[in-house]
Every structure is written in C-alpha cells, then in structure tokens.
C-alpha cells in the first residue's frame, strides 16, 4: 500500500526547458509511463516532443496552472530569477518545485527570494555531454546516472519523497541526499576546480615559447587533462563563478600541494643537498605518489562490480543491497550520513524504508 502510494506520488511531471537535460528527462519519464508536460522558452521543438508523448504548452504559467506533482526547472541558471518570479503567483500548493542546476546554494537563495522555499527540493542529475538542445536529447543520457538531492532543515519530507520517487521509479536512477553546502563543495572538487586546472594547463602551453613542440609531443595524458579546457569558456566561467567560494578554497589547496611537490623535487639536486635531505625529499615524493591509493582501489572495485543502476532496472536481491529505515526526525542528517558513508538509494520500499548499495573509498 505504502509503496504504491509512492509510485503514484510523482505521476504528473512538468518540465520547464527542453534543452539537452530537460529534453532527455522528458523523453525518459514519458517512455517510463509518467505524464509529462513541457514548455520551452525560445525555440519550440514541440512537434518532435509531442511525437514522444510529451504534452507541450505555450507558457510557463500554463505549465504551473496544470497543477503538476513536480515542476522541474531545467532552464539555464541565469534564467532562474525570472522563471521563479513568474512562477511564484501561479504555482499550486500541491506542486513540488525542483531543478537540475549544477550548484545548489545559489538556486536556493533565488528560490527563497521568490518566496518559494516551502515547495522546493534541490536536485542535480549527474548526466550530460558536450551537446545541447532538444535535438541532442536522448532518454539514454540517464542510463546509470546518479542524482544528488539537496535538502535543508526546513525541507518537507513528503516533497523530498515525491522528488526521490520521480528519480528512482520515474527515471530509474539512484539517489544520494545532501545539503547545499556539501553538494556545492563536492561539485567544486570533482568538476568546477578541475575545469580551472585544465584551463590553466592549456593556457601554460599557449604561453610557452615551445608550444608547437609541446603540442607535437602531446599524447594521452595531455589530451585527457586538457579536454574540458576545450569546451565553451563562457559556460565554464559561469559554472566556476556560481561556486566561487568553494572553487577558490580548493585552488589554494591545490596550489599548496603542487608547491610542496616542487619543494621536494628541488631538494633532490639543490645546492645544499645532503644524503639525508635527498632521502627525506624522496620519502615525501613516495608518500605523495602513493597517496591516491584508496581512490585507485575504489576504481578497481568499481570496474569489478555491476553498476548500481542495474539494480534500479529491476534486478533485485543482488549482492551488496541493504535495507535502511529513514527516521522521521532528523532524516536529513541521517540521509547525509548515509551518502557520506558511500550509500546510494536505489529504491524506496515504503515511506520511511529504502534499499541502498554501497560504494566507498
């Protein structure tokens, strides 16, 4: 009974923005039997969308007036304030608002400014590629994807569960539940800061007197490390700016680490090198190059085990699944701890019960 209630809870889903992410999500949810209504601001790929059982409407206001269970803002972050201001007077109390933005604290601030904090649950699907627009949309973009949901103390558990149902049952993806601060700091670590590092590498080559020699000698390591520096600089800059505080803190740490390695390397054949100082420097270097070992072990295990999304697609009872009970009080902290320990929710089995798999370092 409870499980079927959950199944129904996010049936009608409205999507504002039929770009790569919004479009792929619309295709996926419609394909998997949800009732999907969409609106797009500029171009209107409505004929193509309708052929995939996506209902299309003429305005954002009409989208909200349909009283969807979930309304997903899949518009660019820069358009958020305008979207939210237009939604505020028309959104139904029964609609839960969410988004797919790559930063969460900034979006929540804008949601709060529009007076919509009560109905909001943050979301960030780990899916995408270098393309854009509905023409590039593909329901397979969400194969095996993981979603981060972001909640705060004030978030309604019912609304959280509605969005979590949409992700697990609707999209068929796994979920981790964070708060804005930890989401944004983590996104800075694995994406925003590395984009700056990649850009800095390319910029160093461009500024080098031997750039043509270097470009000629460049092989796999250089290609991999500079790939993201080749993407749209405006989009990268916007992404980094939106998470500026976290990115700058990580860049300082990164710069300090590189400086420490440079120190050790300079001690290897410095003017005042002694046997002891060379030995010490080499010890430091060995520690440094060994230090990623837990991540290496994690990646080795990852390539051994089946992807968690496989579970969601119906292969139940596989090794590593575990049932959890989500407390009524302090559920946010409980789910954050679960995510920090490496657990990923692959399905909800009741209002306060879920199944997780664990991938941890």
Site for its own copies in 137-156 (CB under 8 A): 146, 148
Which of 215, 273, 305, 325 is in the footprint of its own copies by CB under 8 A? 215
Distance (Å, whole) CA 41 – CA 39: 7
- Rank residues 64 and 164 by Cβ distance to its own copies and give the closer one: 164
Judged by CB under 8 A, does residue 51 bind its own copies?
no
Q: Between the CA of residue 46 and those of 99, 120, 181, 355, what are the distances in Å? A: 21, 27, 37, 38
Distance (Å, whole) CA 34 – CA 355: 22
Written as six digits, the tokens of 276 are 């002891």
> CB of residue 7 vs its own copies: minimum separation in angstroms?
25
> CB of residue 65 vs its own copies: minimum separation in angstroms?
35
Written as six digits, the tokens of 79 are 């358009």
Judged by CB under 8 A, does residue 251 bind its own copies?
yes
Which of 7, 79, 135, 261 is in the footprint of its own copies by CB under 8 A? 261
Site for its own copies in 219-248 (CB under 8 A): 219-222, 224-230, 233-234, 236-237, 240-241, 244-245, 247-248
Task: Find the largest Cα–Cα distance for the chain.
Answer: 77
- Of 3-11, 64-72, 294-302, 315-323, which segment contacts its own copies by CB under 8 A? 294-302
Site for its own copies in 183-212 (CB under 8 A): 185-187, 189-191, 194-212
Give just the sign of the alpha carbon dihedral 201, 203, 207, 211. positive
Judged by CB under 8 A, does residue 324 bind its own copies?
no
Which of 33, 89, 115, 294 is in the footprint of its own copies by CB under 8 A? 294
> CB of residue 277 vs its own copies: minimum separation in angstroms?
14
Judged by CB under 8 A, does residue 107 bind its own copies?
no
- Rank residues 79 and 213 by Cβ distance to its own copies and give the closer one: 213
- Rank residues 79 and 206 by Cβ distance to its own copies and give the closer one: 206
Site string for its own copies, 59-98 (x = CB under 8 A): ----------------------------------------
Residues contacting its own copies: total by CB under 8 A: 99
Helix (H) or strand (E) holding 16: strand 12-16
Query: In this structure, how many other beta carbons lie within 10 angstroms of the beta carbon of residue 131?
Result: 12
DSSP 353: E
Question: Residue 345: phi, psi to the nearest 5?
Answer: -75, 125
> CB of residue 17 vs its own copies: minimum separation in angstroms?
20
The arrangement of strands across the sheet holding 146-150 comes to 122-125, 146-150, 174-178, 343-350, 353-358, 322-325
Letter string b/e over residues 248-280, b meaning 16 or more CB atoms within 10 A of that residue's CB = eebbeeeeeeeeeeeebeebeeeeeeeeeeeee
Return the C-alpha torsion angle 304, 306, 309, 315, nearest 10.
-170
Judged by CB under 8 A, does residue 178 bind its own copies?
yes
């Amino acid at each position: 009974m409870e499980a079927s209630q959950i199944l129904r809870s996010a049936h009608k889903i409205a999507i504002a923005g039929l770009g790569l992410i919004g479009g792929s999500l619309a295709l996926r949810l419609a394909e998997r039997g949800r009732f999907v209504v969409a609106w797009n601001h500029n171009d209107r790929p409505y004929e193509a969308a309708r052929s995939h059982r996506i209902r299309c409407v003429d305005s954002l206001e009409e989208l909200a007036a349909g009283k969807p269970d979930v309304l997903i803002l899949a518009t660019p972050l820069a358009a958020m304030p305008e979207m939210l201001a237009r939604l505020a007077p028309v959104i139904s109390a029964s609609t839960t608002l969410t988004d797919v933005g790559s930063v969460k604290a900034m979006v929540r601030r804008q949601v709060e400014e529009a007076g919509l904090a009560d109905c909001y649950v943050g979301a960030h699907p780990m899916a995408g590629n270098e393309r854009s627009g509905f023409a590039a949309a593909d329901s397979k973009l969400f194969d095996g994807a993981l979603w981060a949901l972001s909640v705060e103390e004030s978030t309604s558990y019912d609304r959280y569960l509605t969005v979590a149902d949409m992700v697990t049952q609707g999209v068929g993806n796994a979920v981790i539940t964070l708060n804005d601060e930890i989401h944004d700091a983590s996104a800075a670590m694995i994406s925003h800061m590395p984009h700056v590092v990649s850009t800095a590498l390319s910029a160093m080559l461009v500024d080098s007197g031997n750039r043509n020699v270097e470009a000629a000698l460049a092989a796999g390591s250089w290609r991999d490390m500079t790939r993201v520096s080749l993407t749209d600089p405006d989009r990268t800059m916007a992404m980094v700016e939106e998470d500026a505080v976290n990115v700058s803190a990580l860049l300082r740490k990164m710069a300090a680490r590189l400086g420490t390695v440079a120190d050790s390397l300079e001690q290897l054949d410095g003017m005042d090198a002694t046997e002891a100082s060379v030995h010490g420097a080499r010890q430091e270097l060995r520690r440094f190059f060994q230090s990623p070992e837990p991540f290496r072990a994690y990646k080795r295990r990852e390539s051994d085990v089946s992807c968690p999304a496989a579970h969601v697609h119906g292969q139940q009872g596989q090794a590593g699944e575990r049932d959890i009970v989500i407390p009524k009080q302090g559920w946010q902290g409980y789910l954050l701890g679960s995510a920090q320990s490496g657990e990923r929710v692959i399905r909800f089995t009741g209002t306060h019960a879920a199944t997780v798999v664990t991938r941890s370092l």
